[in-house]
Amino acid sequence: MNANQLHVVVGSGPLGVAVMNELLKRGIRTKVVNLNSIVDVPPEVELTHANVGDAEQASEVFKGAAVVYHCAKPNYTKWPEEFPRLTKGIMEGAMKAEAKLVYADNLYMYGPSKEAYHEKMPNQAVERKGLTRAQMADEILKAYRSGKLRAVIGRGSDFYGPGVLHSILGGDMVFKKALQGKPAQVIGNIDVPHTHIYIQDFAAGLVNLALADDALGQIWHLASAETTTTRNLISQVYSQLQIPSKVRAAPSLVFQLMSLFNPFMREMKEVEYIYTTPYVVNHSKYVQKFGDHTTPHAQAISETIDWFRSSKH
């Protein structure tokens, strides 16, 4: 690894910030790019604003980069309309800059599955967001196979941790509620196995992929701590705070009713299976190559509690 190489992180949401922190921890020169958000970054990190959905702007801000991390995404309700254009701009910008592209992906493209998700599974999603994710991943891999783009895809399940406000274990509905002594508020069946990945492990996995040339052109499921139930993880949050665990889980009927009036919930309704059936990720391919250095859930929860205690959010 050449510490003088520039790594550019596109997106300053929780995952982008986690990747930035991981790069800094490894002593890698880092630049963060977003559209117009002002975020706190250390003095040694350059923050640049650009519309990277525009290939010309993307190539300009990626100039000199060895690696570009695609951690950006549009509003959840506008994925089919805006996500492909954003990703195309980032791809073309990375090509012109001759930079390696590391794409942070999720699992929507697979659709529901009765077995653990693995990298050789076909894309069987029929809903809009899954089809959008499948389209973008296919285009990235096609560009790699054509020799136009050096790229790798890292996929993870629902993440939690510092800065994560909106997810199944998001801070707004779980960690902040617990710190206030209130019941956690979640949706779906919290008593089935569900793989949750600590956001710092997600970030570390993406950087590992960036530094391994022989990982290029492939899909990798990033490693997470052991799969358990969402209820178990929520119980661990309350246990560490030394208060009784309290949780309110909205059943499917409430989910459906909320989707009639709330655009965000309407979008989530398309992937309701994620919250109501077992959702387990197989990451054995990644562990075989990179080893298993994941953060135990107990430690991840402790670090997340500390972040929310000290955060203004």
Residue 70 backbone dihedrals phi, psi, to 5 degrees:
-90, 95
Query: Domain ranges in the chain?
Result: 6-159+196-225+280-294, 164-193+228-276
What's the angle, vertex CA 288, arms to CA 285 and CA 294, rounded to 5?
90
Letter for the amino acid at 213? D
Query: Which residues have CB under 8 Å from 156's CB, separation 6+?
Result: 104, 105, 106, 107, 197, 202, 205, 221, 222, 224, 281
For residue 38, what pLDDT is reported? 85
- Bridge partner residues of 46 (DSSP): 31
Answer yes or no: pTM beyond 0.75.
yes
Give CA–CA dist 283/292, Å, rounded: 10
What's the angle, vertex CA 88, arms to CA 86 and CA 89, rounded to 5?
65
Question: Which CATH entry fits the domain spanning 6-159+196-225+280-294: 3.30.70.20, 3.30.750.24, 3.65.10.10, 3.40.50.720?
Answer: 3.40.50.720
For residue 311, what pLDDT is reported? 84
For residue 263, what pLDDT is reported? 65
Q: Are 157 and 230 in contact (CB under 8 A)?
A: no
SS (H, E, C) the chain: CCCCCEEEEECCCHHHHHHHHHHHHCCCEEEEEECCCCCCCCCCCEEEECCCCCHHHHHHHCCCEEEEEECCCCCHHHHHHHHHHHHHHHHHHHHHHCCEEEEEECCHHHCCCCCCECCCCCCCCCCHHHHHHHHHHHHHHHHHHCCCCCEEEEECCEEECCCCCCCCCCHHHHHHHHHCCCCEEEECCCCCEECEEEHHHHHHHHHHHHCCHHHCCCEEECCCCCCEEHHHHHHHHHHHCCCCCCEEEECHHHHHHHHCCCHHHHHHHCCCHHHHCCECECCHHHHHHHCCCCCCHHHHHHHHHHHHHHCCC
Q: What is the maximum span of the chain, computed from C-alpha positions, in angstroms?
A: 56
Residues of the chain with pLDDT under 70: 1-3, 252-267, 313
For residue 270, what pLDDT is reported? 82
Give CA–CA dist 140/136, Å, rounded: 6
Q: Which pLDDT tens digit goes with each residue over 139-149?
A: 999 999 999 99
For residue 177, what pLDDT is reported? 95
Burial environment of residue 210 by CB neighbours within 10 A (0 to 12, 13 to 18, 19 or more): buried
Give CA–CA dist 130/111, Å, rounded: 7
Give CA–CA dist 265/103, Å, rounded: 26
Tell which residue, 79, 103, 72, has the closest CA to residue 268.
79
- Determine the distance from the C-alpha atom of residue 44 to the mean position of all C-alpha atoms in its chain, rounded to a whole number: 24
